[in-house]
Amino acid sequence: MDSITQAALGASIAGALAGKTLGRPVLFTGALLATLPDLDVLIDYGTAVANFTQHRGFSHSLFVLAPLSILIAGLLWRWKPEPGFHRWLLLTALILLTHPLLDTFTTYGTQLFWPVGRPLAISSIFIIDPLYTLPLLAGCAAFLLRPSALRAITTGLFLSTVYLGWSFVAQQIITERVQPALAEAGFAGAELLVQPMPFNTALWRATAITDQHRVEIVTGFLDGDAPLTLEYFPRQPELASAVSHLPETRRLEWFTRGFLDYTKNSDGEITATDVRLGIPGAHPFSFILANEQNGAITPGNGGRTQRPALNTSALPLLWGRATGVIPVLCLASLTTPAVGQEC
């Protein structure tokens, strides 16, 4: 999740566990602790691909954060003997461990058991979701204004947790909705990713991939009985095969579970784009893997291409689609089709 949400969660946990004893300052302690795992973004691993796939790595591992909790709890106990070592340990452990657990509910990928296993991504909540964050912020604000308002903090934690649970239930409902349409279209055995569209859990995006094709479906809880619209995107398996031997390619395939789109421009530059994150036309993570000239492959520098500019004009369309006002939204162009036409 975003840094504000993680800080709000850490502050809320700290306030609920030690607010009565330590008052307002404990919220800032909790917020600071909650930001520690994300300091790995300051590390340069050498290439853009490495930085992308190493983020949420060792600093989000339960095997690292669990013993770190004991060390930090001991330091905090020496600094403030009250509320006691065991309470400090519970506070520190909950804040540090809930950070990667919450991140696991997003799509990016969290290496919860680093150095073993692959990244985990439940993908039931968008990285920024106001309905999850606002109850936490409201509880913290109430406590800052009136330190006796501990119930506001616990209520915020309860509401945000319920909403997180709802996101998982909603994901299962949408998955069951799209599977028959995908099976009918020949994607029954395809890899499937179902995730919410930005900032909400009312509108969802389902992505299914095979070697040859990718299909996208946007559907939501306010669509009623409207038929599903399947939008097809061709894939280029020959490009994937041409660069499959490169370490950067293998790393990206592992990290994204194969949800990559390979393209080659007129200069022969071969790039791989993570199609899980963002939406078509606005995927933020694309990497230069190689250059092909006369059939010869020259490895690239693993650099990241320029991030697409934010299309602010699309925000009203996304809102209209989420609320059901707009029945169909074509992802490839972020436009609504004319009457009688399809994406």
Three-state SS string across 183-218, please?
Answer: HHCCCCCCEEEEEECCCCCCEEEEEEECCCEEEEEE
The whole model's pTM is what?
0.92
Residue-level pLDDT at 47:
93
Query: Contact at 8 Å (CB) between 206 and 178?
Result: yes
Residue-level pLDDT at 148:
85
| E strand residue ranges, 221-285 | 230-234, 260-264, 269-274
- Find all residues with CB under 8 Å of 119, minimum gap 6, and list them: 56, 108, 109, 110, 111, 112, 255
Residue-level pLDDT at 324:
81
Query: Contact at 8 Å (CB) between 106 and 60?
Result: no
Residue-level pLDDT at 158:
98
CA atoms in the 13 A half-sphere facing the CB of 88: 20
Task: Show me where the domains of the chain are located.
Answer: 3-122, 170-232, 236-329
Residue-level pLDDT at 336:
84
Per the listing, tokens 């209209």 go with 320
Residue-level pLDDT at 333:
79
Residue-level pLDDT at 308:
76
- Cα gap 101→96, rounded to integer Å: 9
- Cα gap 103→60, rounded to integer Å: 9
Residues 291-335 pLDDT 10s: 988 888 889 888 899 887 767 777 788 888 888 888 888 888 788
CA atoms in the 13 A half-sphere facing the CB of 50: 9
Residue 110 forms beta bridges with which residues?
120
Residue-level pLDDT at 318:
84
Please list the ranges in the chain whose pLDDT falls under 50. Answer: none
Q: Which two tokens stand for residue 138?
A: 């409201």
